[in-house]
Amino acid sequence: MPIARAAKRATVRLGAVALVGALLAACGAGNSSGSDSSDSAGGKVTLTVDLFGSFGFKEAGLYEEYQKLNPGVTIKQSDTQDEADYWKSLQTRLAGGGGLADVQGVEVGRIASVTQQQSDKFQDLKEFGADKLKGEFAEAKWSAATTKDGKILGLGTDVGPEAMCYRTDLFKQAGLPTDREELAKKWATWDGYLELGKEYKKKAPAKSAWLDSVASLYGIMIGQEEERYYDASGELIYEKNPAVKAAWDASVEAAEAGLSAKLDQWSPQWNQAFAAGSFATIPCPAWMLGYVKGQAGEKGQGKWDIAKLPGGAGNWGGSYLSIPRAAKHKKEAYQLIEWLTAPEQQAKVFQKQGNFPSSTGAIEKIADAKDAYFSNAPIGQIFGDAAKESPVQVLGVHDQNVMQQITNALSEVERKGVSSEKAWGTAKKGVANVIG
Amino acid sequence: MSLTATAKAGPRRPAGTGPGPDDGRAAALRRTWRKASPYAYIAPFFTLFLAFGLFPLLYTAFVSLYRVELQTSGEMEWRGLANYTALFSDEFFWTSLRNTFTIGVLSTVPQLAMALGLAHLLNYKLRGRTFIRTAILLPYATSVAAATLVFAQLFGRDFGLINYVIGLVGFDPVDWQTGTVASQIAVSTIVIWRWTGYNALIYLAGMQSIPHELYEAAEMDGASRWRQFIHVTLPGLRPTIIFTVIISTIGATQLFGEPLLFEGSISGGISHQYQTLGLYMYEQGWGFFHLGRAAAIAWVMFVLIVVIVGVNALIVRRRTRKEAGR
């Protein structure tokens, strides 16, 4: 899940010794064609599912349901909390051609790497008839997992429509309106959001900032853009992209005006700050709701609310389910992921976990959903609208790492007072390093 | 190798027992086995070393001459020395080299000094000595991951214990993650905490090999404990100290787990302020999947360590020669 996607934090990631990995990677090129499914003696199949973060399938009881529907199937899921670790290990296994599960999760920030660099390592789902599902998914979601020559390499799980979460109690103390409609009007643009932030700062409770970190501000703003780091031809264009510059400038402004709590997203300090009230607003993709609830805890119940995002709709994060070519039970795996990503199941995951569905059928089903934790905010409507209006994003192979370099540099402005020009220079060097 | 040749070359044994024609052959066979068996005994190690030591080393050198990406590891593109030249013109490489050095000094020097002091104290007769000796080894037995995560909490900016204490004394909180010096001190602290006890035990072992009479003689001459330490313990410990310095230097050059887990950042903080060479290699290899470049860094680190150890050995040899000449 995208929660973990940026969460390069805190989990144990020792044990990857570069030399051994390099060896593995370079030695094991071949051996990718596993036996083609149905070696199932007496119809008994054990399907392995390898995911990161929390996709919510287990939580929503979907595996049990599926096993009841298909008595011959047993599902075994393994998890890695941190997407960065998960991706590393998946890459190593793909390069070596062994140890792969029947179903592998792929984050949207990596899907371009799958479609552009590794399409021969994943199963074309069209062979199992996936193309008939095309109309059931949001257009952007579907096209991102399709290669130029029309192979379908993954079925979408959730998407990350964006909104703004805020603390009504802190807003009250600072004398700001707390009604979500009114706020949406006041911060119809990002300038409005920053202005309100400056107002907040004047009367804010002690030790409370307007925003958690400028990295999340940058992240949510860049999520509103169609073109970000790459253009449609796969060329790196972030340097001259005005959208990147706009998001950068707004983040710098917020940093220099002292609006942020200077927290590092996904760090322990960030987690503690949810409950401590260190910030009044946090840019909020749908999957963030579960995270806020987890960190702010029961005491936060009713203190939070959700309003429409300044500057229009956007999308941040979301995932896919894919089948590696080396998987043992491809046909059964396909049946499973088709079922898991069907509207009914996506709606169940949303109700349990807050992950917003990518299936258009499921979006209709949850249109009326409200969230008691967030002052009964109409999350079905807010995120549903955002999902409908989100731009179809151009994805690039290094999206994830490029973004990391830019937000690192922004943190320098935020926490060290480095000048915008100097930090941008660092970001460019960092990106050059990423591209190699 | 032919049997006769070996027999000839083998050490002559006094022909004691009955020299029948068959016996001669058996004896020759025995002699051959005698010569060959040591090689057979050490063969397992060298086979493993070849497979998992030498081969990866050479293969890494080979890979470092290519552009190899993990995602497309089948396609290797010849780059010659370009990975190395790119490295040397890369600002982040020099930053990480400098960080490795400063963190190395910040952690090794206090660590060894404290270990020496601890060992000196433990060398006296204390109650519960065994318990204390075991206790100081405990940090070493703790996993890096667990220790680092705890330290990362202690060094937290807003809610960390250390800043809380600093605040009680009346100072401003320190941003342990962001400040260059602060973050390097924090990382060094973890290293010091983990390795001081380990080194202290090595020193203790070394101290116990110093003849007790020397201390007695010194005491009779009226030397204080401090003077005994300076004039008896330190000279007697010199080989041990050199050993720990070399081991610690190698350890410091390869420092990886502590900085990686300190903030969970593969860049070693937002401005690479505590990124070590090991971490930089990891970032290139497993963050960005540039295996060729990572291999080049691995080789640069290898050469660096060989040079450091070589310089160390040279200095030691010089000193010993000087002393012998005295």
* pLDDT tens digits along A399-423: 988 999 999 999 999 999 999 999 9
pTM over 0.80: yes
Count CB pairs under 8 A between chains A and B: 135
DSSP code at position B232: I
Residue A102 has pLDDT above 90, yes or no: yes
Distance separating alpha carbons of residues A68 and A71, to the nearest angstrom: 6
Q: What percent of chain B is helix, strand and coil (3-state, nearest 5)?
A: 75, 0, 25
> How many helices and strands (H and E) does chain A possess?
19, 9
For residue A264, the distance in angstroms to the closest alpha carbon of chain B comes to: 9
* Set of chain B residues whose Cβ sits within 8 Å of the Cβ of A434: 288
- Mean pLDDT across chain A, nearest whole number? 88
C-alpha closest to that of B118 among B225, B196, B231, B227: B196
Q: B190-219 pLDDT, tens per residue?
A: 999 999 999 999 999 999 999 989 989 998
pLDDT of residue B73: 78
Taking residues A88-110, what's their average pLDDT?
A: 92
Residue B32 has pLDDT above 60, yes or no: yes
Distance separating alpha carbons of residues A373 and A305, to the nearest angstrom: 8
Beta-carbon contacts of residue A70 (< 8 Å; ≥ 6 apart): A335
Q: A134-187 pLDDT, tens per residue?
A: 999 988 899 999 999 999 999 999 999 999 999 999 999 999 999 999 999 999
Lowest-confidence segment of A16-25, A71-80, A385-394, B226-235 by average pLDDT: A16-25
Q: What are the structure tokens assigned to B262, written together?
A: 């300190």
Please classify residue B80 by burial: count the beta carbons closer than 10 Å to its beta carbon, then call 0-12 exposed, 13-18 middle and 19+ buried: exposed
pLDDT of residue A155: 97
Residue A16 pLDDT grade (very low, low, confident, very high; cuts 50, 70, 90)? very low
pLDDT of residue B326: 58
Q: A63-81 pLDDT, tens per residue?
A: 999 999 999 999 999 988 7
Q: Return the residue of A nearest to B285 by Cα.
A: A18
Contact B265 A92 (CB under 8 A): no
Q: Could you tell me if B102 and B274 are in contact, meaning their C-beta atoms sit under 8 angstroms apart? A: no
Residue B15 has pLDDT above 70, yes or no: no
Residue A113 has pLDDT above 70, yes or no: yes
Contact A433 B70 (CB under 8 A): no
Q: Could you tell me if A331 and A38 are in contact, meaning their C-beta atoms sit under 8 angstroms apart? A: yes
* Set of chain B residues whose Cβ sits within 8 Å of the Cβ of A276: 158-159
Taking residues B246-256, what's their average pLDDT?
A: 92
- Mutation choice for B interface testing from A9, A11, A13 by most B CBs within 10 A: A13
* Set of chain A residues whose Cβ sits within 8 Å of the Cβ of B284: 433, 436
Q: Which of A95, A412, A415 sits opposite B73 (nearest CB)?
A: A95
Q: Could you tell me if A424 and A409 are in contact, meaning their C-beta atoms sit under 8 angstroms apart? A: yes
Q: Which of B270, B288, B294 sits opposite A408 (nearest CB)?
A: B270
Residue B148 has pLDDT above 60, yes or no: yes
Query: Which residue's structure tokens are 């994805």?
Result: A395
Write phi, then psi, for A317 (nearest 5 degrees): 90, -175
Higher-confidence position of B191 and A34: B191
Q: Return the residue of B nearest to A82 by Cα.
A: B264
Q: Could you tell me if A323 and A395 are in contact, meaning their C-beta atoms sit under 8 angstroms apart? A: no
pLDDT over 90, % of chain B: 69
pLDDT of residue B317: 84
Residue B21 pLDDT grade (very low, low, confident, very high; cuts 50, 70, 90)? low
Please classify residue A368 by burial: count the beta carbons closer than 10 Å to its beta carbon, then call 0-12 exposed, 13-18 middle and 19+ buried: exposed
Contact B288 A113 (CB under 8 A): no
Taking residues B129-158, what's their average pLDDT?
A: 90
Residue B20 pLDDT grade (very low, low, confident, very high; cuts 50, 70, 90)? low
Distance separating alpha carbons of residues B71 and B58, to the nearest angstrom: 22
Distance separating alpha carbons of residues B204 and B92, to the nearest angstrom: 40
Q: How many residues are there in chain B?
A: 326
Window B:107-136, CB contacts with A under 8 Å: none
Distance separating alpha carbons of residues A322 and B211, to the nearest angstrom: 70
* Angle made by CA atoms B300, B304, B310, in degrees to the nearest 5: 145
Residue A294 pLDDT grade (very low, low, confident, very high; cuts 50, 70, 90)? confident
Residue B75 has pLDDT above 90, yes or no: no
Beta-carbon contacts of residue B283 (< 8 Å; ≥ 6 apart): B266, B267, B268, B275
Q: Is the Cα torsion angle A357, A363, A369, A374 positive or negative in sign?
A: positive
Lowest-confidence segment of A9-23, A83-97, A347-361, B112-126 by average pLDDT: A9-23
Q: Return the residue of B nearest to A261 by Cα.
A: B158
Distance separating alpha carbons of residues A48 and A328, to the nearest angstrom: 9
Residue B43 pLDDT grade (very low, low, confident, very high; cuts 50, 70, 90)? very high
Distance separating alpha carbons of residues B105 and B108, to the nearest angstrom: 5
Residue A42 has pLDDT above 90, yes or no: no
C-alpha closest to that of B77 among A432, A431, A26, A235: A26
Distance separating alpha carbons of residues A82 and A89, to the nearest angstrom: 11
* Set of chain B residues whose Cβ sits within 8 Å of the Cβ of A273: 158
Taking residues A300-306, what's their average pLDDT?
A: 94
Residue A317 has pLDDT above 80, yes or no: yes
C-beta neighbour count of B17 within 10 angstroms = 8
